[in-house]
């Protein structure tokens, strides 16, 4: 039981960090990272890391109740499929997107395809990372 709780917490931390990193890469761009041109962005890495931590913190505050509900459902019904956790991550990210949209005031809006793609990509990545970190793999049956 203790190992399961630790796994869930570590999986959640890893998921929000990866989700935050994906959000930051959508904002800051990632051309130099893909090209392997780290010297061009070495002075920006500290700022990108700080933005990642800030985005991860915001994601954790919003998504914690939903993520733990999804984890509880997966533990109650022995769900080990990566597709479940990816779908849960995307649904939680979409809920965050629409909560952000609903809370807006004024003419500037988040409602555009690029922002939606950023949220969906971060939900996908977070769900995948949670599944990889927190869900135990089935052991092959010994003969």
* Residue 141 pLDDT greater than 70, yes or no: no
Q: What confidence tier does 87 reach under pLDDT thresholds 50, 70, 90?
A: very high
* pTM for this model (two decimals): 0.85
Query: Which tens digits make up the pLDDT trace of 100-138?
Result: 888 888 787 888 899 999 999 999 999 999 999 998 876
State the residue for tokens 């949670």.
130
Question: CA angle, 68 as apex, 62 and 70 as ends, to 5°?
Answer: 105
Q: What is the mean pLDDT of residues 4-24?
A: 93
In Å, how far from its chain's centre is CA 100? 16
- In this prediction, residue 48 carries a pLDDT of 83
* Residue 140 pLDDT greater than 70, yes or no: no
- In this prediction, residue 22 carries a pLDDT of 94
Q: What confidence tier does 38 reach under pLDDT thresholds 50, 70, 90?
A: low
- In this prediction, residue 109 carries a pLDDT of 82
* Residue 51 pLDDT greater than 80, yes or no: yes
**Proportion of the chain above pLDDT 70, given as a percent:** 87
In Å, what is the CA distance from 40 to each residue of 4, 25, 45, 94?
Answer: 42, 15, 10, 33
* Average pLDDT in the chain: 87
- In this prediction, residue 142 carries a pLDDT of 63
Asked if residue 52 lies in contact with residue 21, where contact means CB atoms within 8 angstroms, the answer is yes
- In this prediction, residue 130 carries a pLDDT of 94
User: 132: number of CA atoms within 13 Å, CB side?
Assistant: 10
Which of 43, 14, 15, 13 lies closest to 28 in space, CA to CA?
Answer: 43
């Amino acid at each position: 039981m203790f190992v399961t709780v630790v796994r869930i917490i570590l999986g959640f931390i890893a998921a929000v960090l990866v989700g935050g990193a994906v959000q930051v890469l959508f904002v800051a761009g990632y051309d130099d990272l893909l090209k392997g041109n780290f010297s061009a962005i070495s002075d920006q890495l500290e700022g990108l890391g700080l933005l990642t931590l800030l985005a991860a913190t915001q994601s954790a505050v919003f998504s914690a109740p939903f993520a733990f509900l999804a984890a509880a459902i997966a533990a109650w019904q022995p769900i080990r499929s990566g597709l479940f956790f990816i779908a849960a991550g995307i649904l939680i990210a979409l809920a965050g997107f629409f909560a952000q949209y609903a809370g807006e005031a004024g003419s500037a809006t988040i409602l555009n395809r690029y922002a939606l793609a950023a949220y969906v990509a971060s939900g996908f990545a977070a769900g995948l990372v949670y599944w990889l970190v927190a869900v135990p793999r089935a052991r092959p049956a010994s003969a």
